[in-house]
Structure 1
Amino acid sequence: MNEEFLHFIWRYKLFNLPLSDKETRLEVEVLSTGIPNPDAGPDFTDVRIRTANTIWAGNAEIHRRASDWNRHGHQTDPHYNNVILHLVEIKDTEVKNSLGQEVPTMELTWNKELTNRYLALLNNHDKIGCRDFLNAVDPIVFTHWMNRMIVERLEQRTEAVFHLLNETAGDWQEVYYRRLLMSLGMNINAQPFEMLSRSLPYSVLRKHTGNLLQTEALLLGQAGFLEERLFPEEYFLTLRNEYAFLKAKYSLKPVDRSLWKFMRMRPGSFPTLRLAQFAKLMQNRMTEFDVLRQAVCPDDFVSWFHTTASEFWDTHYHFDRLSEPFTKSLGKTAATLLVINAVVPVLFAWGKRNGNQDLMQKAISFLEAMPPEENQITRAWEKAGITVSNAADAQSLIQLYRQYCEKKFCLRCAIGNKLMMQSVIC
């Protein structure tokens, strides 16, 4: 079995007793399996065991084979000198630490039913490996884990926000602007939208928010949509001329036009139209960080983001893609996703950076008040019988799938742990 499974067996004391060395006849009483160590060094710290009449405290290291100790170089690493117990599935050698002292090595054995349960989860090809067993999980366990998942997801996104904050010398406005643009690209165009935000600082764009045409020229020009081809429309030619002047003025370098994806996209989601809508958001000052801090509820943002583009886009999706005349606004679904993917992470990160628990809770309450997004992951959970009531549920389940189900980290999941302890699998 893999080391992750052996960690699970040790951590939850699922190994057979007595724990002993057949060769030396040394028998160990485990007082505490210790604390899992996610960092470099021994796998478990603060382990306590009793041998004969002596209590030992230190660390434990786990390998599939005892010889892995030497293969990993622990015999020369002083960080492993405090290991009091080396636990393995197969003891194929004795091992020593860097002081030349022999480290007690013992084989772990367990009920093979646990192996069968684990393999049943691991080898299940469904998106959600435990789908057929979820009804056996205590709802309290599931709810508790979902609460953990939403915080974990926001913490993960907070790290991304803090990374941007370091890049921008602590400029929260620039960070918020970048998150908004990246989120506007959804999954398919997130990268070029992010690259666009880096190539066109908010400080430059804001100088021209009083002139919608110039704002559009900067956004569409920096995206590369005004350079490679010529279109006869007066609107396009005016944008092109405006951009040529502004590009030279600010020494701008546009994003590679080939990065943008249009294939298999609904025309209403074309990046050209999205950028025209974002220009209107800029003009209406709905992208300002102060607005984010002062908002009371997510509906405010959804209403603000539900914006239209300029008149040209009433009859176009692209410069060469005509449409029936109608006002093209950023849809409610897209506006909601902007709140989920930009507003909430930045608000949560702002609260965390300033030690404001109320703001962090406010960010979570925004998610709880919004409808859930619909995608392949949420549909898979619904198919498995899980109700997705709001955006917080959806984000929790996306986190669970991406970080646990997809990676087959069943043993790191509270749900997988509970199922392993029960006889419902196999």
Structure 2
Amino acid sequence: MKEDFLHYVWQYKLFTMDDLYTTNHQKIQILKQGTHNNNSGPDFLQAKIKIGTELWVGNVEIHLKSSDWYAHHHEKDNQYNAVILHVVYENDMPVYIENNQELPTLVIKNHILTDVYINYQKLFSQSLRWIPCEPHINSVDSFLLSNWKERLFIERLEQKSVFIKKLLASQNNNFEVVLFQLLCKNFGLKVNADAFFNLATAVDYGIIRKVQHNDNQLSALLFGQAGFLEETTLEDPYYKSLQEEYKYLQHKFRLKSISKINFQFFRMRPANFPTIRLAQLIGLYHHHHNLFVKLMNTQSLEDFYNVFNISIHEYWKTHYTFDKTSKKSAKKITKSMVDLLVINTIVPLQFVWQQSRGALNQEKILQLIKEIKPEKNAIISKFSDIKIPSNNAFETQALLQLKNNYCTLKRCLQCAIGNSLINN
């Protein structure tokens, strides 16, 4: 039994309302159970309850045991002076408030609806399940599940927007700078995300805007700031040209040297080498001088594929690193890579951008994300194993939010699926 369950029972009145009495045998009539308080202070605010012959308006505090009042030191907190009713599962001692008066207490244990309690026990009894509702999730109404997925997806976007808004605050609300930082981070994929993000934050975006029309200068700037142009013995002509260009840019823009960024090559596919990903990013910004506007106004997946369909410098078509040649290949940004960028960078940024303008078009965002193929990872595979398939990225994003923010934390009482199973 968890206190959260008692909150849930009280909030939704999942207990018999007749014959309620305090431990001192005063009749209780609940006219309004109060508003659930998710912040500090009493659990339910502004309740309206008749106790005996008197009508009280105030707060309700809920505990598993009445002694928890003292264990949580509520007697020393003025926020609890307006508590009018103490709801407990067990009354193991009386609680006294101001003027040495006993706080009216309701023992709710024998009033909880039997089916609700049984379903709650079933949901939480098997700790070894991958998710608590694993045997029953398929019985949930499809309409409810569909609506809950939509809420989960928006909730996931809202969580991602917190990081974006922090970046915007640090960049004077410059969306173009934040786009560059987010693209860098996601071009680095999971292994090199931090290294790419460190590079993005170490480069003045204003300089990128000044040199992006010149592929050689843009390449020198980013490869130089990333620490890839520090080798003195390499005789590669292209490498040397970038070195010379970088020295010029250092002098012209007074570039500050940055500590060595730790890019990882070990156990990576050559197509994901940071040198190739950086070359693709350079190609993207060299090709599109108004990239932010294009990405914020693009709404179909096919159009995004066209935006990212750019060529990289000829040198990288025969190289994966500066020191070795390889078989020639175009090394285009793949559609699967574009899918990841749309999911993790563009859609969250569109969400924040539209919110900032008071023009949030949730339906368009949902339409776009539903065009993308479902993601492949261990969590999505496990959901598939328990007969919860995913048809697109909207559903995979929703399921990731469900698993990480509800199932793993056992927040079944805050989950529409858990609610449905408990009340069934």
Matched residue SS, 2:406? helix
Alpha carbons of structure 1 residues 118 and 50: separation in structure 2 relative to 1, 3 Å? farther
> Among residues 215, 219, 227, which one is paired with 1:216 in the alignment?
219
> Among residues 174, 178, 190, which one is paired with 1:175 in the alignment?
178
> Among residues 389, 393, 406, which one is paired with 2:391 in the alignment?
389
Alpha carbons of structure 1 residues 70 and 397: separation in structure 2 relative to 1, 3 Å? same
Answer yes or no: is 1:254 the counterpart of 2:258.
yes
Q: What TM-score does the superposition give when structure 1 sets the normalisation length?
A: 0.89
Query: What's 1:71 paired with?
Result: 71
Instruction: Measure the CA separation in 2 of the matches of 1:353 and 1:106.
Output: 47
Answer yes or no: is 1:292 the counterpart of 2:266.
no
Query: What's 1:35 paired with?
Result: 35
Instruction: Measure the CA separation in 1 of the matches of 2:333 and 2:70.
Output: 60
Alpha carbons of structure 1 residues 92 and 228: separation in structure 2 relative to 1, 3 Å? farther
Whether the 8 Å contact between 2:120 and 2:422 is mirrored in structure 1 is: no
Query: What's 1:327 paired with?
Result: 330
Instruction: Measure the CA separation in 2 of the matches of 1:323 and 1:64.
Output: 68
Whether the 8 Å contact between 2:49 and 2:57 is mirrored in structure 1 is: yes
Instruction: Measure the CA separation in 1 of the matches of 2:206 and 2:50.
Output: 65
Alpha carbons of structure 1 residues 326 and 72: separation in structure 2 relative to 1, 3 Å? same
Matched residue SS, 2:178? helix
Query: What's 2:201 paired with?
Result: 198
Alpha carbons of structure 1 residues 418 and 230: separation in structure 2 relative to 1, 3 Å? farther
Unmatched 5+ stretches in structure 1: none
Q: Kindly state the Cα deviation for residue 310 of structure 1 after the two structures are TM-superposed.
A: 1.5
Alpha carbons of structure 1 residues 57 and 309: separation in structure 2 relative to 1, 3 Å? same
Matched residue SS, 2:46? strand
Q: Summarize deviations over 1:377-404 as a string: whole Å, max 9, x none.
A: 2222222222322222222122212211
Instruction: Measure the CA separation in 2 of the matches of 1:155 and 1:270.
Output: 31
How many correspondences in the alignment?
417
Query: What's 2:377 paired with?
Result: 375
Q: Kindly state the Cα deviation for residue 138 of structure 1 after the two structures are TM-superposed.
A: 0.7
- Structure 1 segment 232-247 matched on structure 2, within 5 A: 232-247=235-250
Instruction: Measure the CA separation in 2 of the matches of 1:37 and 1:136.
Output: 31
- Structure 1 segment 26-425 matched on structure 2, within 5 A: 26-97=26-97, 102-109=102-109, 110=112, 111=114, 113-120=118-125, 123-126=127-130, 128-227=131-230, 231-248=234-251, 249-254=253-258, 256-258=260-262, 260-285=263-288, 288-320=291-323, 322-358=325-361, 360-422=362-424
Alpha carbons of structure 1 residues 296 and 21: separation in structure 2 relative to 1, 3 Å? closer
Instruction: Measure the CA separation in 2 of the matches of 1:182 and 1:198.
Output: 10
Q: Kindly state the Cα deviation for residue 162 of structure 1 after the two structures are TM-superposed.
A: 1.8
Matched residue SS, 1:207? helix
Instruction: Measure the CA separation in 1 of the matches of 2:233 and 2:419.
Output: 60
Unmatched 5+ stretches in structure 2: none
Instruction: Measure the CA separation in 2 of the matches of 1:226 and 1:171.
Output: 29
Alpha carbons of structure 1 residues 289 and 86: separation in structure 2 relative to 1, 3 Å? same
Instruction: Measure the CA separation in 2 of the matches of 1:403 and 1:318.
Output: 40
Q: Kindly state the Cα deviation for residue 167 of structure 1 after the two structures are TM-superposed.
A: 0.9
Q: Return 184-193 or 270-279, whichever deviates more.
A: 184-193
Q: Return 207-216 or 286-295, whichever deviates more.
A: 286-295
Alpha carbons of structure 1 residues 227 and 138: separation in structure 2 relative to 1, 3 Å? same
Matched residue SS, 1:187? helix
Q: Summarize deviations over 1:341-371 as a string: whole Å, max 9, x none.
A: 111111111111111133x432232212222
CA-atom RMSD, angstroms?
2.5
Q: Summarize deviations over 1:288-326 as a string: whole Å, max 9, x none.
A: 222223324232122222333212222222234653221
Answer yes or no: is 1:20 the counterpart of 2:24.
no
Alpha carbons of structure 1 residues 414 and 202: separation in structure 2 relative to 1, 3 Å? same
